[in-house]
Structures are given as C-alpha cells and as structure tokens.
Amino acid sequence: MNKILTVILFFFSSSLFSQIELGYQGLIPIHIINFEDPSKEVVIDTTNQQNNWVIGSTNKTFFGQANSLPNAIMTDSVNSYPPNNHSYFDLGFRAWDNSGFPFNMYIQFDHKYETDSLIDGGFITVSYDTGQTWVNVINDSSCVSCYSWPLINSENLYTFNDSLKNGNFGFSGTSDWKTTTFQWIWMLPVAKEIYSDTMIVRFNFISDSIQTNKDGWIIDNINVGFVDLGSSIQEINNQLKVELYPNLTNQYFNYKVEDNDKLESLFITDVKGQIIYSEKNPNKENRIDVSKYPSGIYFVKFSTKGKQVVKKLIIN
C-alpha cells in the first residue's frame, strides 16, 4: 500500500463538520470528468455481463438528456434497468503530486434517478486496499490508524433512513437533476493517511427480482478536488505554465499558455465546486467574458495531456 502519514496542526469544534467545509479557498477542482472524452479514472466492470453502466447520450423517458450535453454515464442508455442486478463503475485515483492526495478530498457529481423506492437504487462505496474491502461512504471510518476518522461531510447525499434491499444506505425513488457533494476530513489529534494508488470509489446500482420498467441512475460532471483548511492553495507538480490577468475583474480576464503544449480543456468553478464555464480545446491565448457571473472567488483550471494548473480568479 502506498500511503503517507501527515500531521495536520489544526483545531476544530465537533459541530463544525456536518455540511461541506469550504475552508479558506473553497472547493478546488483537480479532476473534472464530463464524459465527453475518455477518462482513465472511470472504469466500468466489463467482466460482469450483467453490468449495465454505459457512457453516451440517451433519450430515455425519465433521463431525457445528459446534464451537460451530449454524454453522461448511466444504467443503460436505451432500456429500463433489469431485475436482480448489481452493476457498478469505479473511480480509480492516482496521486495528484509526488506525495499522494492533498488535504481533505471531495467528490461532487450531478445526477438524477428513477427507481423502486427503498428497494432498488444506487449507493457509493470506498476501498483503501485496491478493492479487497469496501465500506459505504456514509459509514466510512475505516482508517484504522485514524481512530474512527475520517469524518464524512456531505450535501444531498443519502441518509441513514434511506435503506435499499440489501441493507445498504443509498439513493432511491425519484429525483430530478441535483448536485451531491461529499468530502473526507482528516485532522488532529490523529495522523492523516493519504492514500494514492490504493484508493477506489465505487458507484453501485442494485435491483430486486421485480421488473419496474424504470430508467435507473444517470450521472454527469464528476468533479474531484480538495479543500484547503490550513494553508494556501497547494501546488501541483508538473504544472502547466499559464499567465492569467487580471485576476481581479468584473468584466473579463485574459490568459496565455507559456508552454508549447496544446490546451485540452478549460473549466471555471465557483467555491462550491460548481462548473460555471467549460471549453474544450481552447486557444492557447484568449479573453473570456465573466461579467454575467456573481461577485466571488472562482477557480480556472487549464489542462493539457499530463499537465494542469488551477488559477484563482476574483470577480468583483
């Protein structure tokens, strides 16, 4: 197992961590997966012939379309989810720098679902040992040396009252598009275990023996990042060199890529991690109008193959 122990010198009150903690800089994105391009972080279990997770577009009655067109990941793009099914896909993470994950990781995603209430549905599990053992994220305190840590903060996650047919807590019933966020918090008086190549997050969908002719679960815009609770934005090794100016504006900002690499994507997110602007294969030098966005702190992420950088932008 590849892990590093780090002590975080930070004090807290026990009531602080129930909803999402935004820290000093808000939610800072590292990986943004919108399913328009292949992502090596997303792995569908193709060895299971009953696995019905697919990536693509859809016009199913309830699903309608992806939240950001045209693609999303879903339980079948044409047919209703089948009975007696357990399907899943994994998010496999690599270290974001040479030491492992940065402090206090979060995952955010848009989704909607239509299932048989409190029987069929979706739930999320995490493994710290490359899939040997799993725990529902709502119950995650499996870090043995962390003494019942980490704490799990969440918004729009299922609760302990939402139990599925197999006893797991999960999403069920009917919900239109919503954004769910959950984060792991590690703090003193314990040590923080930073997992890198051994951590997997799994999105599961299960159904009982009754055919319901319902659409299932569709997920879009998975956003993975961290929140800074005790320092400035962490630097990422192998950064892309980008000049952004002015970083305090109420009209527009300019950017210029100083490297020879071709930009693959540009995303702007707010402090809650919501994507407010995205562009695929943008120019290496351009001006972007941000006059329509509310005042506040934002983050601009530039990515090329193998390199990335996040710049802070303040709209006043």
Task: Report the CATH fold assignment for 242-315.
Answer: Immunoglobulin-like (2.60.40)
**Average pLDDT score over residue span 154-170:** 88
The residue that leads in pLDDT, 245 or 138, is 245
Using only the alpha carbons of the chain, give its radius of gyration: 20
What is the architecture of the domain spanning 3-227? Sandwich (2.60)
- Cβ(153)–Cβ(19) below 8 Å: yes
The residue that leads in pLDDT, 201 or 146, is 201
**Average pLDDT score over residue span 137-163:** 69
- Cβ(255)–Cβ(244) below 8 Å: yes
Whether the pLDDT of residue 16 is over 60: the answer is: no
Torsion from C-alpha of 44, 46, 52, 55, nearest 10 degrees: 50
Q: Which residues contact 44 (CB under 8 A, 6 or more apart)?
A: 51, 53, 54, 55, 73, 89
Residue with tokens 């966020």: 181
Whether the pLDDT of residue 163 is over 50: the answer is: yes
Work out the percent of the chain whose per-residue pLDDT is above 90.
41
- DSSP state, 47? T
Whether the pLDDT of residue 306 is over 80: the answer is: no
CA-based nearest residue to 273, from 110, 123, 37, 126 = 110
Q: Note the pLDDT of residue 189.
A: 36
The residue that leads in pLDDT, 312 or 11, is 312
Whether the pLDDT of residue 191 is over 60: the answer is: no
Our CA angle for 282, 25, 5, nearest 5°, is: 105
**Average pLDDT score over residue span 3-20:** 41
Read out DSSP for 203-249? EEEE--SS-----EEEEEEEEEEEE-SSSSPPP-SSB--EEEE-SEE
35-94 pLDDT, tens per residue?
998 888 899 988 888 899 999 999 899 999 999 999 999 999 999 999 999 999 999 875
Q: Which residues contact 90 (CB under 8 A, 6 or more apart)?
A: 42, 43, 45, 131, 200, 201, 202, 203
Using DSSP's 3-state secondary structure scheme, residue 102 falls into coil
Domain boundary assignment for the chain? 3-227, 242-315
Q: Note the pLDDT of residue 275.
A: 83
Whether the pLDDT of residue 264 is over 90: the answer is: no
Whether the pLDDT of residue 231 is over 80: the answer is: no
pTM of the model: 0.72
